[in-house]
Amino acid sequence: MSEGLGERTAADNAGKQLAIEARGLVKRFEGTLAVDGVDLAVPYGAIYGVLGPNGAGKTTTLRMLLGIIDPDEGERWVLGHSNPQAIARAIGYLPEERGLYPSMKAYEAIAFMGALRGLPLAEGRRRARALLEANDLGYAAERQIRQLSKGMAQQVQLLGTLVHEPRLVILDEPFAGLDAINQGKLERLIRDLAAQGATVIFSTHVIAHAERLCDSVAIIAGGKVPYAGSVDAARDRIPAQVRLETRHADGPWRAALPAQARREGAFWHFPLPESGVEPLLRALIEGDAGIQSLSIERAGLHDAFVAIAGEAAARALETAPEAAR
C-alpha cells in the first residue's frame, strides 16, 4: 500500500498503552455458549493474531470488539472507549463474509465505505482512485463490482476498509479466498500498516500467516482463550527438539538421552533437557557417542497451537454439557 495513514497521535504509539483490552467477554446465542470469558490485551501499533479452528469463537469475539454485538458479560475497551461504535471513524473492519453492492463501481464502493466512517465523499473518491492505482487496480476503478473477479472484489473491499486511514484495523480471516500472490501482497500491506503506526488485529486459522506477521497472538478454542501473549512465548511452551546422529549405535552415552527419546532411522529425536545443551553434549562426548550431527530445532507456532488448542478442546469437551445448560 503506497498511500500513508495520516497523522497519529503520540499517545497512540506509546508502548504500554493498549489499543484493545477485553476482560471476561461472554456471548451466548440462543442458549449456546459461543464465547466463554475471553481476555485480550492488544498493544498500540502491534500486529495481533487471533488464531483458532473454525467455530472457535474468533468472529464473535471480533464482532464484540467492534460493537456489532454486545457481550452478555464482560467489558471491552477499544482505543480507550467502552463503546467501540462511538469511535467508528478510527476503526477499519474487513468482515469474514465479504459484502459489496454488486451494482456499485469499484471506486464508488471504496468511497462509500469511507463515507460510512466519516470521510467526505469527494475525498473518498479521490483516495479510492489513488488506492486502486497504487495497488495495480486502476483499470478496474470504473467497473461494477459484479464485473470483478472474487479476488479483485476482495481487494476492493480491503481498500475500502483502509480508505479513511484507520488507527485500528480489524481483519476477519483476511487471507481466505486469496491466491498465493495476493496473500503475499496482503502480508506486506499488514506490515506497512503497522510500520505506519496502525494497530492491526486479524483472525486466521492458517498459522503460517500469524507466525510470519504477528508480534502477539491469542489462541481461541471452544470459546475460551487458553493462550494470549507473544509468539515467542507460545513457541517456548514446547521444549526445543534435539536431532542427534551418532557413529555408535550403543554405549554409555545412551544414559544421557531422556526417556522420551525415540529413534527414526539414523536419528534420535528428543526434547532438549531442562539443564540445557552443554551438559548433554558433555555426557555424549564422555560416553563416546561419536557425534556426527546434532541440531536443536525450536518448536513452531503450529506445534504450540496444536498443543494448546488440543488441551483447550479437551477441556471444552469436558465442560460442554454444563455450557449447553
Partner 1 sequence: MSGRPMRDERLSLIQAAFVIARRDFVAILFSRAFIFFLLGPLFPIAVGAIAGGIGQQVENAAAAPQIGLAMQARDIDRMLAAHASLAPRMGQALPDMAVLERLAPGQAFDAASVLERREGNWGGVLTGTPAAPVLTVTGERTWWAGPVALVAAVADRTAPTAYPEVKTQTVATSGASDTRGRMRTAQVGQVILFLLMMLLAGMVLSNLVEEKANKIIEILAAAIPMDAVFLGKLFAMLAVSLVGIAVWATAIGGVMGLHGFERLFGGAISLGGLPEPGVGWPMFFLLAIVYFAMGYLLLGSVFLAIGSLATTVREVQTLSMPVTMAQVFVFLFATLAVSDRGGWLEWSAMAFPFSSPYAMLARAAQESALWPHAVAVLWQLVWVAMSIRFGAALFRKRVMKSGPRLKPGRRFARSAPRPPGPGA
Are the beta carbons of 273 and 280 closer than 8 angstroms? Answer: yes
Instruction: Give the footprint of partner 1 on this chain (CB under 8 A).
Output: 3-9, 17-18, 21, 29, 41, 63, 66-70, 77, 79-91, 93, 95, 97-104, 112-113, 115-119, 121, 123, 127, 164-165, 167
Quote the least distance from Cβ 130 to partner 1, whole Å: 8
Spell out the residues 6+ positions from residue 74 whose beta carbon is closer than 8 angstroms to its own.
22, 23, 24, 25, 26, 37, 38
Quote the least distance from Cβ 116 to partner 1, whole Å: 4
Quote the least distance from Cβ 305 to partner 1, whole Å: 25
Residue placing its CB nearer to partner 1 in the complex, 20 or 283? 20
Residue placing its CB nearer to partner 1 in the complex, 88 or 281? 88
Quote the least distance from Cβ 4 to partner 1, whole Å: 4
Quote the least distance from Cβ 76 to partner 1, whole Å: 10
For residue 171, the Cα-to-chain-centroid distance in whole angstroms is: 9
Quote the least distance from Cβ 80 to partner 1, whole Å: 4
Residue placing its CB nearer to partner 1 in the complex, 228 or 289? 228
Are the beta carbons of 47 and 213 closer than 8 angstroms? Answer: yes
Residue placing its CB nearer to partner 1 in the complex, 172 or 211? 172
Quote the least distance from Cβ 85 to partner 1, whole Å: 6
CA dist., res. 167 & res. 158, Å (int): 15
Residue placing its CB nearer to partner 1 in the complex, 114 or 222? 114
SS (H, E, C) the chain: CCCCCCCCCHHHHCCCCEEEEEEEEEEEECCEEEEEEEEEEEECCCEEEEECCCCCCHHHHHHHHHCCCCCCEEEEEECCECCHHHHHHHEEEECCCCCCCCCCEHHHHHHHHHHHCCCCHHHHHHHHHHHHHHCCCHHHCCCEHHHCCHHHHHHHHHHHHHCCCCCEEEEECCCCCCCHHHHHHHHHHHHHHHHCCCEEEEEECCHHHHHHHCCEEEEEECCEEEEEEEHHHHHHCCCCEEEEEECCCCCHHHHHCCCCCEEECCEEEEECCCCCHHHHHHHHHHCCCCEEEEEEECCCHHHHHHHHHHHHHHHHHHHHHHHHC
Residue placing its CB nearer to partner 1 in the complex, 202 or 253? 202
Residue placing its CB nearer to partner 1 in the complex, 196 or 241? 196
Round the CA-based radius of gyration of the chain to a whole number and report it: 24
Quote the least distance from Cβ 149 to partner 1, whole Å: 16
Quote the least distance from Cβ 53 to partner 1, whole Å: 21
